[in-house]
Every structure is written in C-alpha cells, then in structure tokens.
C-alpha cells in the first residue's frame, strides 16, 4: 500500500482510500476518482510539481499534497506496453 | 405566450456553450478549460420557428452546493422551474458524464440527452449505441457534434417535444442500502411536500450525501428532519464502512459505469498529434522552456504586428491634426473640441486597435487550444512557493486580457483565502488596455526590450506581493485538482467571434468614452479647468514622479478606462509623438505608474461583487501606494543610469 504520489510514470494503481476532508474527497469523486478505480500516472512534473493521471479516459492534474491523500495499491506488471518510459525521479 | 424555457446543463468542457452559441449567436464565452463559464447566460432564440428562452448554465461536475459554479447552477434549476433540460454529455467521458445525468433525472423535469463530441469519441475508438443508452436512461438521446452544428436541429426538436409532453424521466435506482436510507428521508419529507416543483427524492438523496446547504434548507421546512438524516447516514456508514457521502456517490458511480459498459465499446484509439504534443508540452524537461518560448513569441508577435500598423496610422492622424489646426484655430472653443475629437478617434484607431486586435486573437488561441490548464500544471510548484496553487494561474493569465472576467474566474478557486489573494494579484496584471499603453509608449519609443522589462518587473512585484499576502493569510488550500482537457485545434470562426466579442466591448463602450473624454478635456483646457486639477495633483505627478504636470488630468480619466491615460496624454501634450515631450525616464515612470495604480471602474465594480467592499478598498489603496513607490524607484533608477 502506498500513495499516488509515489507511483512512477506509466504505471497503474488501484484507489484504496481517499484520506482527508470531505472537500477533497468530493472534488475527486466528481472528477470520477472513486475507491476501486484504476488510475494511470501519465506524467510527473519536476521539483515536486503535480502528478498528471488518467482516469476513465480523462486527464487530471493533482498537486503532490492531493496525490499524497490518495492511498493506492500499485498494479503488478502495470508498465504500460504502449508507452514504455523509464521511471524518473527515484526518491 | 411566454416561450418555452430550455436549460443546457452539462459537465465542464462538454460543449454546452458551443451548442448555445450555435443557436443563440456568439454570446457565451467558450474556452478549453474547466469553469470557463462562471455564471449562466440567457438568450431568446428562434428554434424551429418558435421563440424560446435558452439558458446556458455553468459547467458542473455534479449537483452539490460545495462549489460556486455548481451552487449557481443548482439554485437556478431549483428556483426557475425549466420546461426542459438538455443534458449535454461528452461522449468521450460517458461514464463520468452520466453521474451528472443521473442527478439531473432526479429533478423531475422533462429531459433530453445531447450525446456530444461524437467525432472525438470516434477518434478515441469509442463506439456508443445511442439507442441502447436511451433505453437504459429512459430519456431521448440525440447524437450531436456541436462544433460543426451537426444534430442540433434534431436535438431542439426532441427537446421541444419533451417540453410539451411534461413527461419527467423516472429516476434511476441505486443499491439497496442507499435506496433504504433515501426512502426513510423521503417518507419523512413527503407529508410536507405539496406542490413543490422538485420531487422530495432529489432532496432526500442530497441530504443522505450530507450536502450542508440542502440539510439546512430542509431543516427550516421540515422540523426534526436533521435527526432522521443523521440516523439514515449512520446506518449507511455501518453497512458499508465508508462515510455516507462516499457510499451514495460511489453507488451513483457504479450505476453510471454499468450503463457505460452496456452501451459503449472501446477499441484501441489512435495516438494522435494531441498525445504527442502533450508529451512534449508537459514533459518534465521540455515543458517549462516551451512555455517560456510560447509566451515570449506571443509577446513579440503582438508587438511586431502592432508596430507595423501603428506607425503609418500615427503619421496619418498627425497630418490630420495639423490640417484641423489650420482650419479651426486651437485657441477657439470649436477648434479645441475638434482637436479633442480627432485625438480621441486617432487614439482608438492608431494606438489601441493595432495592439488590441492581435493581442485578443492570441489570447483566444491560448484559451481555446486548452493551453491554460497546462500552464497551471507546469507552474503549480512555483505557485506553491507563493502559497497558492496552479489553478491561480488561470485568472492571472486571463488578467492579461481584461481584469473583469479574470476577477470573476477566481471562482474556480476552492478556498476563499486563495480567491482573495488571487484577486489582489489579478488586478495588478497589465490587462489589454494597459498592454496598449506599454506597447504604445515604452515599446514604440524605447524598444521592445524595455516593454518586456515592464512585464518582468510586473511579474516580480506580483510574485513578491503574493508571497507576502499568503504568508499573512491562513487557510491554505489542499492543492491542485484540475482536469486537463484534450488539446484542441481552435476553429478560426470561434477565434474570430471571440476576438470580436471583446473588441466590440472596446468599440461600443470604451471608444465613445475616449472620444467624449477627449472633447471634455479640450473644453477643460480651453476654460483653463485642467490646470486646476493638474496643480492639485502636482505633488504626486511633478514632485514625486518627475512628470510634466499635464499628466494629472490623464490619471483621473484613467480610472474610467486605462487606455484613456495614454490618449489623454497625447491630447494634453498635443501630438501623437510622445517622445517629443517626454524623456525616456518619464515615459517609463508614467507607464509603470499607470500599470499599477488603482483598478479601473469596471474592475472595482466586479471586485465589490466578488470579494466585498473591504477587500476592494484595501486592494485599491494598496495599488496606489505601490504605483507611487515603484514610480519613484523607476524615476531615480533612470536618473542614476
């Protein structure tokens, strides 16, 4: 179990829980991010910038603070075959 | 007979405003970013030979009262009893869009779904069986491609038919526990629910979701409802182990996606230029430099085009001015008024339009391609250093166009603190009126480099002020949550319509004001009234800023419209060749002062509405102090150089 903040580019993860206030949760829910959904990390901005994720065909930018509130389980072997990308920013 | 009232409702970027504009003429601003319509637009239109009222609601993800745009849409729907709702659904995001559709169906109004952006869905490899969708929802579904006007006739025909039938859709049912909880609340409401336009079920669901405004509203209407809602929510939480709001919205999510699975087939879409472009535009290494390059070329393109047109026009009008002076001597009243009118006309044609037109067109391109939210993504961490987050970039960028819509767009920010800070910063951004001053004074006579310097100075001040303000105000927002829409090739027709919409503002409102003010200034000078104003302001203009005392009046007129300052300046010094009367140091001081000092009347009015008089007062006062300090600094910096 980890958070969305830690998922590498091109990898998929399943949402386990959205921690934090009802405000953030509602906002993510209305953008189509719910528990059990699969999210793909498309890009990560440098210098602790936001994470760009794809969910149900929509792209959403999430600040690192928000991404940290989304608990996820990384899907095994989720490296996207169509867009092979080395994992950046190992921290 | 009063025409039928048709409401367009849909999620942000689903193409509502495009459909609205296709029917009502270009009135609603479109842009490729979420939340571009912050309030609703109403229009009368002739549809299929009948007069109807069409309302374009702001884009909403759901019907809750937590977000400003959503609250506005919800209030409109609850209080205005529309005859029919057209729910515009983005076919490329069917599952998520249906979550709103399901909520709209609970309102108990006749409804039609416009399955929009079918061309983009096809490109992405999504096939939707619209007959199956209509059957699953129990309401008519009309396929449309709003951008090309396809299917709109059929859509409105279907909407009128639905409106005349008065047949409301039957609400979707959620999972058993949710239905039980909603049923309990609904039964408690029912005895009080006579002749209400919206069914009790809608409020029961919202209450179960814990919507504070709905619960508050119900509590006033039905005593004791609070306890019943709490009990129902507690039961839901016990059954699922999650909070009630997540259970209800999760259940809706499931229903929506089950429908999507039944009616849509996904093939592998093609990786088009959009995907490729995004990989470069949002890449950690290339994204930032590309953004700088895009903005820099934008700046130079506007400057280059404007200057190319300005010079011959200025020469032409200067000639005209000399001719007028020879026919009507400037010492007479007729002569001074004629000169004022010519100056007003020439200022508009020769100085404002050459820069305004390419500028507005360029801004329209940035908006319609969807580059603005990408800037929010790239600049998020920089904005974090200022204690804000990426979304504040959108109002700031719009501020380069006009402060009025920019201040309104601060509504996309979630926290009141962020809105206040961003509003204060947005009014400092040089709007297109101030841009023409920068270009026409500093750019034209001192070179593009110095004009660029004004922008950089402005950004440094904005950055410093942002850091200062956010350090003093508590309540940081959790962070950036922003949909990044697909890149779009903007249609030339839309770009032109959009440029024209802003330009018309200038031609219809600002220009007559310019000409009239110019004539008034002429009369003032003739009657030696201007010198009194100039004398009163001379401690600021002459002593502090080192400017000629004639600029005093121009600063007063500038509060009406910022363009007036430069046109009045021309009028006051009597030539369009500003360099003949002002030294470079004075031009720079004047421009910097005008860029920062007090927002124009229209901006003050919108600020009063958006942030209240207290914030408006301190922001305005702050801008005057800042403009004076910066003006003095520039003056002495030039003296040292």
Residue B595 counted as domain residue: yes
Q: According to the model, what pLDDT value does residue B273 have?
A: 85
**Chain B residue closest in CA terms to A47:** B381
User: B209 and B300 in one domain?
Assistant: no
How distant is the Cα of A12 from the closest Cα of chain B, in angstroms?
A: 18
What pLDDT, on a 0 to 100 scale, did the predictor assign at position B336?
80
Which secondary structure element, helix H or strand E, spans residue A4, and what is its range?
Answer: none
Report the residue from A27, A52, A88 with minimal CB separation from B377: A52
CA distance B487 to B293: 18
Q: Which two tokens stand for residue B544?
A: 């502090």
The position carrying tokens 């399901």 is B102
Q: Are residues B192 and B120 in the same domain?
A: no
pLDDT reported for residue B376: 92
A16 touches chain B (CB under 8 A): no
Mean pLDDT over B303-328 rounds to 80
Q: In a mutagenesis test of the A interface, which of B484, B485, B486 is the best target, namely the one with the most A β-carbons within 10 Å? A: B484
Q: Using CB atoms, which residue from A35, A42, A66 is nearest to B481?
A: A66
- pLDDT band at B37, cuts 50/70/90? low
Domain co-membership, B436 together with B532: yes
Higher pLDDT, B396 or A89: B396
Pick from B61, B271, B284: CB nearest A44: B284
Cα distance from A61 to chain B (closest Cα, Å)? 5
- Measured in whole angstroms, the distance separating CA A52 from the mean position of its chain's CA atoms is 7
Q: Give phi and psi for B268, each to the nearest 5.
A: -75, 120
Question: From its phi and psi, is residue B263 left (phi > 0), alpha (psi between -120 and 50) or beta?
Answer: alpha
Angle, CA of B240, B246 and B252, to the nearest 5° = 100
Q: What confidence tier does A78 reach under pLDDT thresholds 50, 70, 90?
A: low
Most confident option among A35-44, B215-224, B303-312, B573-582: A35-44
- Residue B241's Cα: distance from chain center in Å? 41
pLDDT digits (tens, 9 = 90+) for A58-70: 899 999 989 999 9
- What is the pLDDT averaged over residues B76-86? 89
Q: Is residue B69 part of a domain?
A: yes
Report CA-CA distances (Å) from B417 to B177, B350, B461, B547.
Answer: 39, 42, 20, 38
Of B130, B165, B200, the position where a domain reaches its end is B165
Query: For residues B62 and B106, what is the distance between their CA atoms, to the nearest angstrom?
Result: 12
Say which of B210, B243, B253 has its CB closest to residue A34. Answer: B253
B104 min Cα distance to partner chain A (Å): 14
Q: What is the Cα–Cα distance from B266 to B123, expressed in whole angstroms?
A: 11
Stretch among A38-47, B131-140, B477-486, B524-533 having the lowest mean pLDDT? B524-533
Q: Is A84 on the interface with B (CB under 8 A)?
A: no
Which residue would you say has higher pLDDT here, B578 or B112? B112
Choose the weakest-confidence range: B27-36, B197-206, B219-228.
B27-36
What Cα–Cα distance (Å) separates residue B116 from each residue in B136, B470, B548? 18, 41, 59
Instruction: Confirm if B30 and B42 have CB atoms less than 8 A apart.
Output: no
In which element (H, E) is residue A45 found?
A: none
Looking up residue B236, the CATH number of its domain turns out to be 1.10.287.1770
Beta bridge pairs of residue B621: none
Per-residue model confidence (pLDDT) at position B14: 87
Dihedrals phi, psi of A59, to nearest 5 degrees: -105, 135
What's the pLDDT score for residue B2?
A: 63
8 A C-beta contact, residue B110 and residue B167 = yes
| Optimal mutation site among B99, B284, B378, interface A, most CBs of chain A within 10 A | B284
Q: Quick one: tokens of B449?
A: 């480099």
Complex ipTM more than 0.90, yes or no: no
Residues B98, B200 share a domain:
no
Residues B439 and B479 in one domain: yes
Dihedral angle of Cα B283, B467, B608, B410, to the nearest 10 degrees: 20
Using a 10 angstrom Cβ sphere, with 0-12 exposed, 13-18 middle and 19 or more buried, the burial of residue A90 is exposed
Indicate the residue among B165, B187, B207 that finishes a domain: B165
Residue B603 inside a domain? The answer is yes
Non-local (6+) Cβ contacts of B276 within 8 A are none
Put simply, the answer to whether A63 touches B271 (Cβ < 8 Å) is no
CATH architecture type of domain A2-74: Roll (2.30)
Nearest Cα residue to B462 out of B371, B531, B393, B552: B393
Contacts of A63 in chain B (CB under 8 A): 380, 384, 389-390, 478-481
The size of the A-B interface in CB pairs under 8 A is 131
CA distance A76 to chain B (A): 22
Q: Is residue B219 part of a domain?
A: yes
Q: CB contact, 8 Å: A34 with chain B?
A: yes
- What average pLDDT does the segment B454-470 reach? 93
- Structure tokens of A54? 């794809």
User: Long-range contacts made by residues B132-140, C-beta under 8 angstroms, separation at least 24?
Assistant: B132/B262, B132/B263, B133/B259, B133/B263, B136/B259, B136/B262, B136/B263, B137/B98, B137/B101, B137/B105, B137/B113, B137/B169, B137/B172, B137/B259, B138/B169, B138/B170, B139/B105, B139/B111, B139/B112, B139/B113, B139/B169, B140/B112, B140/B113
Asked if B95's CB is within 8 angstroms of A56's CB, the reply is yes
Q: A4 at the B interface (CB within 8 A)?
A: no
Cβ contact A61–B96 (<8 Å): no
Same domain, B82 and B207: no
Coil, strand or helix at A54: strand
- Indicate whether B582 and B561 sit together in one domain: yes
Looking at chain B, the whole-number percentage of residues with pLDDT higher than 90 is 34
Most confident of A31-35, B86-90, B162-166, B367-371: B86-90
Cβ distance B249 to A46 less than 8 Å, yes or no, reads no
Closest CA to B332 of B465, B48, B523: B523
- Tell me which residue has tokens 């008024």: B337
Chain A residues touching residue B124 (CB < 8 angstroms): 57
- Opening angle at CA B325, ends B319 and B329, nearest 5: 175
Q: How far is CA B270 from the centre of its chain?
A: 33
Position B436 confidence tier, pLDDT thresholds 50, 70, 90: confident
pLDDT at B550: 86
**Rounded CA gap, B287 and B347, in Å?**
39
- Residue B36 CA to residue B401 CA, distance in Å, equals 14
B268-289 residue pLDDT tens: 766 678 888 999 999 999 999 9
CB pair distance less than 8 Å for B377 and A45: yes
A87 Cβ under 8 Å from any chain B Cβ: no
Q: Token pair of B262, please?
A: 């039944």
Q: Which residues pair with B4 in a beta bridge?
A: B52
Select the residue of B124, B287, B479 nearest A57 (Cβ to Cβ): B124
Q: Provide CB contacts within 8 A for A7, sequence distance 6+.
A: A13, A39, A41, A51, A72, A74
Let me know if residue B282 belongs to a domain: no
**Is any Cβ of chain B less than 8 angstroms from the Cβ of A48?**
yes
Residues of B in contact with A49 (CB under 8 A): 377-378, 380-381
Tally of structural domains, chain B: 3
Residue B622 has pLDDT above 70, yes or no: yes
pLDDT at position B595: 94
Q: What is the model's pLDDT at position B411? A: 78
Q: What are the residue ranges spanned by the domains of chain A?
A: 2-74
Pairwise CB contact (< 8 Å): A63 & B92: no
CB contact under 8 A, B478 and A66: yes
How far is the alpha carbon of A19 from chain B, nearest alpha carbon, in Å? 11
Report the pLDDT value the prediction gives residue A67, as an integer from 0 to 100: 93
The residue length of chain B stands at 641
User: Is B116 domain-assigned?
Assistant: yes
**B376 in Cβ contact with B482 (< 8 Å):** yes
The CA–CA distances, whole Å, from B497 to A1, B93, B493 equal 51, 28, 6
At B38 the pLDDT is 57
Stretch B158-179: mean pLDDT: 90
Contacts of B243 in chain A (CB under 8 A): 22, 25
- A45 close contact with B: CB closer than 8 A: yes
3-class DSSP string for B553-601 = HHHHHHCCCCHHHHHHHHHHHCCCCHHHCCCHHHHHHHHHHHHHCCCCH
d(CA A23, CA B73): 19
Helices assigned H by DSSP within B106-211: 118-123, 130-137, 152-165, 176-189, 200-208
The reported pLDDT for the residue numbered B33 is: 57
pLDDT band, very low/low/confident/very high, at B21 (cuts 50, 70, 90): confident
Nearest to A61 among B92, B93, B377 (CB): B377
- Cβ-nearest to B390 among A25, A63, A89: A63
Which residue in the set B126, B271, B484 is minimally distant from A59, CB to CB?
B484
Q: With an 8 Å Cβ cutoff, are A57 and B287 in contact?
A: no
Q: Across the interface, do A59 and B389 touch by the CB < 8 Å criterion?
A: no
Residues of chain A with C-beta less than 8 angstroms from the C-beta of B482 = 60-61
Same-domain check for residues B116 and B139: yes
The helix or strand, by DSSP H or E, that contains position B116, with its residue range, turns out to be: strand B111-116
CB proximity A30 to B under 8 Å: yes
Give a yes or no: residue B272 inside a domain.
no
User: Of B165, B192, B222, which closes a domain?
Assistant: B165
Could you tell me which residues are beta bridge partners of residue B7? B55, B85
Residue B439 included in any domain: yes
Among A48, A58, A88, the residue with its CB nearest the CB of B483 is: A58
B518 and B628 inside one domain: yes
Host domain of residue B570: 287-640
Which of A5, A20, A31, A80 best probes binding to B when mutated, by most B CB atoms within 10 angstroms?
A31
A40 and chain B: CB distance < 8 Å anywhere?
no
Q: Does residue B417 sit in helix, strand or coil?
A: helix
Tokens linked to B415 = 């926290």
Same domain, B316 and B230: no
Q: How far is B454 from chain A (nearest CA, A)?
A: 28
Contacts of B154 (CB under 8 A, 6+ apart): B142, B144
The whole-number pLDDT of residue B1 equals 43
Give the pLDDT confidence score for residue A51 in this predicted structure: 95
Closest CA to B403 of B619, B622, B628: B619
Residue-averaged pLDDT of chain B: 86
B466 shares a domain with B414 = yes
Task: Kindly list the strands in the beta sheet with A12-18, ordered across the sheet, starting from the edge strand earlier in the chain.
Answer: A2-3, A70-74, A12-18, A38-44, A51-55, A58-62, B481-483
Find chain A residues with C-beta within 8 A of B245's C-beta. 22, 25-26, 29
Query: Is the pLDDT reported for residue B577 higher than 70?
Result: yes
Of B67-76, B86-95, B239-248, the range with the highest mean pLDDT is B86-95
- Enumerate the β-bridge partners of residue B128: B264
Judge residue B354's burial from the number of C-beta atoms within 10 Å of its C-beta, 0-12 exposed, 13-18 middle, 19 or more buried.
Answer: buried
How many angstroms separate the most distant Cα atoms in chain A? 36
Q: Which of B336, B187, B178, B141 is nearest to B252 (CA)?
A: B178
Residue in A25, A45, A56 nearest the CB of B93: A56
The DSSP call for residue B110 is: -
């Amino acid at each position: 179990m980890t958070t969305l903040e830690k998922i590498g580019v091109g990898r998929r993860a399943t949402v386990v829980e959205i921690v934090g206030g009802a405000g953030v949760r509602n906002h993510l829910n209305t953008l189509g991010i719910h528990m059990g959904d699969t999210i793909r990390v498309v890009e990560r901005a440098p210098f602790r910038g936001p994470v760009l994720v794809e969910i149900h065909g929509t792209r959403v930018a999430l600040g690192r603070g928000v991404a940290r509130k989304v608990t996820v389980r990384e899907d095994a072997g989720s490296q996207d075959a169509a867009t092979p990308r080395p994992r950046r920013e190992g921290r | 007979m009063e025409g039928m009232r048709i409401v367009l409702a849909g999620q942000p970027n689903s193409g509502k405003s495009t459909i609205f504009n296709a029917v009502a003429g270009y009135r609603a601003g479109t842009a490729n970013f979420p939340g571009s319509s912050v309030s609703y637009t109403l229009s009368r239109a002739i549809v299929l030979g009948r007069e109807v009222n069409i309302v374009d609601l702001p884009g909403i993800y759901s019907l809750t009262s937590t977000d400003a745009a959503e609250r506005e849409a919800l209030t409109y729907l609850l209080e205005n009893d529309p005859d029919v709702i057209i729910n515009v659904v983005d076919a490329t995001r069917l599952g998520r869009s249906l979550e709103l559709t399901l909520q709209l169906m609970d309102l108990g109004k006749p409804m039609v779904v416009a399955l929009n952006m079918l061309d983009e869905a096809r490109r992405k490899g999504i096939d939707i069986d619209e007959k199956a969708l209509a059957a699953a929802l129990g309401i008519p579904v009309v396929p449309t491609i709003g951008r090309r006007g396809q299917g709109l006739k059929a859509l409105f025909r279907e909407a009128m038919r639905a409106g005349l039938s008065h047949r409301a859709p039957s609400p979707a049912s959620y999972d058993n526990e949710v239905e039980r909880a909603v049923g309990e609340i609904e039964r408690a409401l029912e005895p009080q629910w006579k002749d209400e336009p919206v069914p009790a079920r809608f409020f029961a669901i919202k209450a179960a979701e814990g919507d504070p405004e709905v619960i508050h509203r119900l509590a006033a209407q039905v005593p004791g409802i609070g306890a019943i809602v709490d009990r129902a929510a507690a039961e839901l939480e016990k059954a699922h182990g999650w909070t009630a709001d997540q259970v209800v919205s999760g259940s809706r999510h499931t229903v929506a996606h089950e429908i999507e699975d039944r009616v849509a087939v996904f093939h592998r879409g093609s990786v088009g230029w959009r995907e490729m472009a995004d990989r470069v535009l949002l890449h950690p290494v290339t994204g930032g430099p590309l953004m700088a390059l895009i903005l820099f070329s934008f700046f130079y393109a506007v400057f280059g085009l404007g200057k190319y047109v300005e010079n011959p026009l200025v020469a032409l009008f200067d000639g005209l001015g000399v001719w007028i002076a020879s026919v009507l001597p400037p010492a007479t009243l007729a002569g001074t008024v004629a000169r004022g009118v010519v100056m007003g006309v020439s200022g508009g044609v020769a100085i404002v339009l050459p820069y305004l037109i390419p500028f507005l067109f360029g801004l329209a391109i940035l908006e319609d391609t969807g580059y603005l939210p990408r800037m929010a993504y790239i600049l998020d961490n920089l904005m974090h250093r200022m204690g804000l987050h990426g979304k504040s970039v959108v109002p700031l960028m719009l501020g380069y166009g006009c402060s009025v819509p920019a201040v309104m767009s601060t509504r996309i920010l979630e926290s009141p603190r962020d809105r206040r800070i961003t509003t204060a910063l947005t009014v400092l951004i040089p709007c297109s009126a101030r841009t023409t001053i920068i270009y026409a004074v500093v750019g034209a006579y001192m070179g593009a480099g110095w004009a660029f310097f004004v922008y950089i100075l402005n950004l440094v001040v904005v950055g410093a002020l942002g850091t200062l303000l956010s350090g003093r105000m508590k309540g940081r927002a959790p962070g950036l949550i922003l949909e990044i829409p697909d890149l779009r090739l903007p249609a030339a027709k839309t770009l032109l319509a959009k440029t024209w919409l802003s330009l018309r503002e200038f031609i219809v409102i600002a220009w007559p004001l310019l000409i009239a003010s110019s004539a008034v200034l002429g009369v003032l000078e003739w009657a030696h009234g201007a010198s009194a104003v100039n004398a009163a302001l001379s401690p600021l203009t002459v002593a502090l800023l080192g400017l000629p005392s004639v600029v005093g009046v121009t600063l007063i007129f500038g509060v009406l419209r910022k363009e007036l300052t430069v046109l009045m300046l021309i009028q006051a010094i009597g030539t369009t060749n500003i360099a003949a009367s002002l030294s470079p140091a004075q031009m720079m001081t004047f421009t910097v002062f005008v860029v920062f000092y007090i927002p124009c009347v229209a901006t003050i009015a919108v600020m009063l509405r958006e942030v209240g008089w207290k914030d408006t007062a301190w922001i305005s006062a702050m801008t005057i102090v800042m403009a004076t300090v910066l003006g003095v600094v520039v003056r002495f910096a030039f003296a040292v150089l």
